[in-house]
Amino acid sequence: MNRILTLFVCLHWAVVFVALTLLAGLHGGQNFAAVLAAIGIQFSVDVMPVPAGLCALLAVGFGIVASLFLWALVTGFLDRRVEGNDADEVARLAFGGAVAVFTLVFLGCAAGAEVIGLYRSMALEIGALLASYLAICAEQRMAVAAAVSASNRAGAAARTMALHAAHDSLLARLGGGRRSGGGR
């Protein structure tokens, strides 16, 4: 069963992190302020030049998270099981990686120069990740509940048929060979 919301949420976050990866990887170190501005963080003073290695490290972190979300997208598309599927485990890993990268960005900015919008932007990003994760979990629970409900309906029909057969058999024994149809 494809879960459409899970697929679109993973696609959205994969695109976001691919864009951040490309932005951080371009122009080696000169786009550091642009990457942080894309997240919603601005410096109050002119930023001193950032080493290209720091931007490369940021690009690698964003790239790993983007590949995790792409992996979750492909796994969610190919995995048809309802319970205990691999797509949910990969999605948990991707969301955990995204929170870890944003936490490292937060710690790096908090230790550095004076920044504007650091707490607000990190709260929005992590809040959006949390809302996305909760939406995926809710969709998974609804899929499991629907599968359980369908199996309960099939089981209820089988129990009803068994009860009718037992009732007919009991009536046949009590009536001396009568069938429930009324004929002898």
Tens digits of residue pLDDT in 78-113:
876 655 567 778 888 999 999 999 998 888 887 776
Tokens of 16: 């976001």
Q: How many residues does the chain have?
A: 184
Q: Which two tokens stand for residue 82?
A: 């309802």
Q: Mind listing the pLDDT tens digit for each residue in 23-40?
A: 888 766 677 777 778 888
Backbone angles phi, psi at 84, to 5 degrees: 60, 40
Partner residues linked to 43 by β-bridges: 115
> pTM for this structure?
0.73
d(CA 26, CA 15): 17
Contact criterion met (CB below 8 Å) for 138 and 130: no
The amino acid occupying position 114 is E
Indicate the burial class of 47 (C-beta count within 10 angstroms; 0-12, 13-18, 19 or more).
middle
pLDDT in tens, 125-170: 999 999 999 988 888 778 777 766 666 666 667 777 887 888 788 7
Q: Give the integer Cα–Cα distance in Å for 143 and 1.
A: 8
pLDDT the model gives residue 126: 93
Structure token pair of residue 4: 């459409």
Give the pLDDT mean for 60-88.
83
Residue 116, phi then psi, degrees to nearest 5: -110, 130
- Separation of alpha carbons 62 and 19, rounded Å: 9
Q: Is residue 142 within 8 Å of residue 12, measured between CB atoms?
A: no
